[in-house]
A and B are shown apart, each in its own frame.
Chain A
Amino acid sequence: MTPENDLENRTEAIAPFGSRRQFIRAAAITLGTGLLPAGPVPINAQESGEKAPLLDVPAATADVTPFTVHVPQAALDDLKNRLAHARWPNKEPVTDWSQGVPLAKMRALADYWARDYDWRRAESALNSLPQFRTSLDGLGIYFIHLRSKHERALPIVLTHGWPGSVFEFLEVIRPLTDPTAYGGTENDAFHVVVPALPGFGFSDKPADKGWNVMRIANAWASLMKRLGYERWVAQGGDWGAGVTTALGHLQPPGLAGIHLNWPLVFPEKIPTEGLTHDEQRAVDAEVIFRTQGAGYFLEQATRPQTIGAALADSPIGQAAWIYEKFNAWTDHDGDVDSALTKDQMLDDISLYWLTNSAASSARIYWENSPSSYAGGKIDLPVGVSVFPKEIYRAPRSWAEKDYSKLIYWNELTKGGHFAAFEQPTAFVRELRACFALLRA
């Protein structure tokens, strides 16, 4: 497929409605009994008394095919039904989050989810953006793709992590693509690509093993090529940083540089003495994380299918599994709601639940099983923004050792692990400042 053809596909979001209908009809016929979330033709949910409603997505092809989210009402009804019949553990014997999400907090979140939360609002927000699916390396990958009106905009692929999702980036997409409407100049413009990782959201769930960060990085490089981008940059935190770091190693044609909000710069072997203050602080934070905060990590890295059985069947289980991390990793005043609204958290949680991707997302840990945060040396230009409530704050000294072209470094005063989600304005400012240095 030539870039010209790709461009045509890329703009299909604004293509005549008729052609989209054709695709949807074709997909519906092919899928037979499946539920089709996209498109104007409503298809009834599978309502076997013994089957929970399924959300199927149409098979992806090598084409870049427009995609619209429509979760069947039956799936939402099933969710509410499960929430109404939730069976709760007894109250924790502590007065804080030290054993996990406190019962009262969890009940409040579940009550809000059942009564006040509106998935259709989130769905509309997604559907207000051009969304697509395309097959990469045999797997259907979902992505948001919004082009800037500015000709010279810099293409960027933003990669989320776990338990994040494309929702993390919703509030930065328009400021990045349309800077003149959001306090910037047209020189700040980006064409934005936000894919969902394999096994996450509306991307396919891998049926075979092997989808590690390097393979994902390869797929992202193919995606950018398929979209016709010849010179582009990449950004990520969490697993997004893993994929983006892998892109840095891969150096695919066209990749001009990367930005990380969680740089993986630990030395292979951490020195036991002579550490600077910042290095010691990072080491201490990593020890606390490894001993106190890595239970989810080790479980997902070793037994994703086992934990997946519970999280696939219980929305409160899924919600708690994620809510804990929003509390632990965001920059808040004691109440996680001060960092992210319940709606924001539940958008993300609902996406995991409705796409039944607890197990498939957990498998990214199994695939990579990293034993350290040593991301290795990168010779492409790298920019870093360190947010203060990150799991560990990367020391600049280590970044300078790993990144031969550390073009940008900034330590912010507010924000945590979910940088774009928590501090969209600051996040946008960081990307503008960083990549101003790489614009042609």
Chain B
Amino acid sequence: MKSQRTGAELKERSVNGQLLEDRTGVRAPLTSRRTFIREAATTGVASIFSPGLVPISDQGSATQAAQFVLPSATKDVTPFKVHVPQAVLDDLKNRLAGARWPNKEPVTDWSQGVPLAKAQTLVEYWRTRYDWRRVESSLNGLPQFRTQIDGLGIYFIHVRSKHQNALPIILTHGWPGSIIEFLQVIGPLTDPTAHGGTADEAFHIVIPSLPGFGFSDKPTEVGWGLPRIANAWADLMARLGYSHYVAQGGDWGAGVTSWMAKQHESGLAAIHLNLPILFPPPPPPAGGYTAVEQPALAQLVKYGSDGAAYGLIQGTRPQTLGYGLADSPVGQAIWIYEKFQAWSDNKGDPAETISVDHMLDDISLYWLTETAASSARLYFESWGKDFGRMDIDLPVAVSIFKGDFFTPPKVWGDQTYSKLFYWNDVPKGGHFAALEQPELFVAELRKSFAGMR
């Protein structure tokens, strides 16, 4: 295992004056991990074991779909590597090859969802040209871990900067995003001097997967809404030894981040949001909304009437929807692709702003980890409940990427965040800010948190 440890990880020992092993859990002798793996294999708990050194062949039952099983997490911070069994990738390609398609939509645009021709093009690329091993290598080039928080195994990427004064930050993705959204910003944020910045712009970076997403566990009980996730993130930062940190997010990530601020999580100094949950503050002003507020109101109306169905079905019947998406990679891909098109900054084709490979990295992560239903359940937990406007009295920074589907005006921020210390309207980029405009995203975080170290 030691060979897999990166320089950044090893630095942790000196920086925090604490034994690395205490936090990473790698102090356990290799043999004991092997023993665990062997036991798991014997008991059939982990028929396919992703991070282990010992490859275990997959369950070859003809009537059983190939499965990807996570090792159970402990309270230790345990290094984790991604290795999707080949059988799972083969199964994906088989399913794509045998896809049965609906007939062509009777419209000439995206108004009924992803047009058939677009869907078929994406799926054909996925089947014949896309390479999951490429992104797997990228992930495995980063220090990844799992640790159990509040009973649930949470996966995260954790890259420490070489700069002593770096500011720890926890970046939280949303739906249908994932940790994939942040891969391009990790280098610039942790190593600014190699990416056009200065040493005092450095961050230590923590990027967890939400419960039910990616390589985090899927909750087996209700209750994993935003407030609980926010608490878990604070526990994670504490477990990593960070007593002064900031948090960032958009989409559900903005929900988690806002709740961290609202709950005054210990050590949290400030937050940055690229999709602030700034629904119009009640009550409506006596003279009606101003011109600067009208566009955002119109966006909300349009979203409610023509853009929120995915949210309502995920919020009310995630399990029903989950059957189709768990069983059909085409269904899963199209369910997500629609949102890349609708929410990114493009003139019709999402590939203008997010490469097809990046979209499929994200889609593949959902498919391979079988997280359609479990990710949808976050809507059941929190959509229309915890995901709403909330007054925040911690320092808040906001970057509005103008291609997002909701771009609230600063006046709503002023009315909601008592310490709104940064607001910028970024002319390019949309809902998937870090994925679409990594350089601008990095610049926003550097500017926002310049005075926080």
B214 — which chain A residues lie within 8 A by C-beta? none
Taking a contact as CB atoms under 8 Å apart, the answer to whether A298 and B331 are in contact is no
A-B contact count (CB 8 A): 198
Tell me the complex Cα distance, A209–B314, Å: 27
Docked CA distance A314–B333 (Å):
13
Interchain nearest-CB distance for A285 vs B (Å): 16
- B222 in the interface, Cβ–Cβ < 8 Å? yes
Contact of B99 among A206, A304, A305, A313 (CB under 8 A): A313
Q: Which of A90, A299, A324 contacts B309 (CB 8 A)?
A: A299
Distance to closest chain B CB from A323 (angstroms): 8
State which of B316, B317, B324 has its C-beta within 8 Å of the C-beta of A316: B324
Cα distance, A175 to B62, chains bound together (Å): 47
The CA of A292 and the CA of B308, in the complex, are separated in Å by 14
Q: B312 to A305, Cβ gap below 8 A? A: no
A94 at the interface (CB under 8 A from B): yes
Given contacts A88-B323, A303-B309, A306-B335, whether A314 and B102 have CB atoms under 8 Å apart is: no
Q: CB of A363 within 8 A of chain B?
A: yes
Residue among A92, A295, A301, A363 making CB contact with B316, cutoff 8 Å: A295
Name the residue of chain A whose CB is nearest to the CB of B100. Answer: A52
Q: Does A244 contact B (CB under 8 A)?
A: no
Task: Select B322's contact among A84, A89, A209, beta carbons within 8 Å.
Answer: A89
Q: A50-B98, A89-B374, A100-B319 are in contact. Are A321 and B324 (CB under 8 A)?
A: yes
Interface residues of A toward B: which range? Answer: 35 or more
A203 at interface by CB-CB < 8 Å: no
**B330 proximity list for chain A (CB < 8 A):** 309-310, 313
Q: Does B442 contact A (CB under 8 A)?
A: no
Contacts of A356 in B (CB 8 A): 100, 102-103
Q: Does B321 contact A (CB under 8 A)?
A: yes
- Which residues A274-332 have CB closer than 8 A to chain B? 292-296, 298-299, 301-314, 316-321, 324
Q: Report if B357 contacts A (CB, 8 A).
A: no
Asked whether A305 lies within 8 Å of B105 as measured between CB atoms, the reply is yes
Contact between chains at A206 and B106 (CB < 8 Å): yes
Which chain A residues lie closer than 8 Å to B327 at the CB level? 82, 86-88, 310, 313-314, 316-317
Contact in complex: A87, B65 (CB < 8 Å): yes
* CB pair A310 B319 closer than 8 Å: no
Task: Name which of A50, A93, A94 has the most chain B CB atoms within 10 A of its CB.
Answer: A93
- Nearest B residue to A324 via CB reads B320
Cβ < 8 Å to B, chain A residues 202-217: 205-209
A303-B328 CB under 8 A given contacts A89-B372, A101-B320, A360-B102: no
A209: contacting residue among B101, B107, B320, B328, CB under 8 A? B107
Would you call B370 and A87 a contact (CB within 8 A)?
yes
A99 CB within 8 Å of chain B: yes
B395 at the interface (CB under 8 A from A): no
Partner of A303, one of B112, B318, B321: B112
B331-A363 in contact (CB<8A): no
CA distance A253 to B221 in the complex (A): 59
How many residues on B have C-beta within 8 angstroms of the other chain's C-beta atoms?
61
Q: Which residue of A lies closest to B92 (CB)?
A: A87
Flag if B106 contacts A207 (CB, 8 Å): yes
Contact A305 B309 (CB under 8 A): no
Q: Which residues of B are found within 8 Å of A49, using beta-carbon distances?
A: 97
Asked if B325 is an interface residue, CB under 8 A from chain A, the answer is yes
Interface residue B313 (Cβ < 8 Å from any Cβ of A) = yes
**Binary B-proximity of A66-83 (CB < 8 A = 1, otherwise 0):** 000000000000100010
Contact A90 B374 (CB under 8 A): yes
> Inside 8 A of B426's CB, which chain A residues have their CB?
none
B66: nearest chain-A partner, CB-CB: A87
Residues of A within 8 A of B102 (CB): 305, 308-309, 311-312, 356, 358-360
Q: How far is the CB of A290 from the nearest CB of chain B, in Å?
A: 9
Q: Is A103 an interface residue (CB 8 A)?
A: yes
CB of A192, distance to nearest CB on chain B (Å): 29
A129: chain B residues within 8 A (beta carbon):
none
User: In the complex, which residues of chain B have a beta carbon less than 8 angstroms from the beta carbon of A87?
Assistant: 65, 326-327, 370
Are A298 and B309 touching (Cβ within 8 A)?
yes
B153 nearest CB across to chain A (Å): 13
Residues of the A chain whose Cβ atoms lie less than 8 Å from the Cβ of B63: 84-85
Contact indicator B98/A52 (Cβ below 8 Å): yes
Separation of A233 and B257 alpha carbons in the complex (Å): 60
Interface check A91, CB cutoff 8 A = yes
In the complex, whether A106 has a CB less than 8 A from a CB of chain B is yes
B373 near A324 with CB under 8 A, answer no
Is B323 a contact partner of A293 (Cβ separation < 8 A)?
no
Taking a contact as CB atoms under 8 Å apart, the answer to whether A298 and B218 are in contact is no
Query: Is B254 interfacial (CB 8 A cutoff)?
Result: no
Q: Would A296 and B317 count as touching, CB distance under 8 A?
A: yes
Task: Tell whether B172 is near chain A: CB-to-CB under 8 Å.
Answer: no
Contact residues of A between 168 and 200, Cβ < 8 Å to B:
none
Given the interface pairs A92-B319, A100-B320, A314-B323, the reply to whether A305 lies near B373 with Cβ below 8 Å is no
- Out of B98, B309, B319, B328, name the residue touching A103 (CB < 8 Å): B319
Interface residues of B in 321-360 (CB under 8 A from A): 321-328, 330-335, 338
Q: Which residues of B contact A302 (CB under 8 A)?
A: 113, 306-307, 309
Q: Are B326 and A50 in contact (CB under 8 A)?
A: no
Chain A, Cβ-Cβ closest to B320: A100
Residue of A nearest to B315 (CB): A295
Known: A52-B99, A101-B320, A316-B327. A310 touches B334 (CB 8 A): yes
Shortest A73–chain B CB gap in Å is: 16
Instruction: Report the Cα distance A78→B98, complex, angstroms.
Output: 10
Task: Answer whether residue B230 sits at the interface, using C-beta atoms and an 8 A cutoff.
Answer: no
User: Is B219 located at the chain interface by the 8 A CB criterion?
Assistant: yes
Residue of B nearest to A103 (CB): B319
Q: Is A366 an interface residue (CB 8 A)?
A: yes
Residues of chain A within 8 A of B289, CB atoms compared: none
Q: Could you tell me if A310 and B306 are in contact, using CB atoms closer than 8 angstroms?
A: no
Q: Does B56 contact A (CB under 8 A)?
A: no
Interface residues of B in 102-129 (CB under 8 A from A): 102-107, 112-116, 119
Which 10 residue pairs spanning A and B have beta carbons closest together?
A: A317-B324, A310-B331, A100-B320, A306-B113, A295-B313, A359-B102, A305-B113, A100-B319, A310-B324, A89-B373
Other 14 A-B pairs with CB < 8 A, given A89-B370, A101-B319, A311-B331 = A52-B100, A93-B377, A292-B316, A296-B313, A299-B310, A305-B115, A307-B113, A309-B333, A310-B335, A314-B324, A317-B323, A359-B103, A363-B112, A366-B112
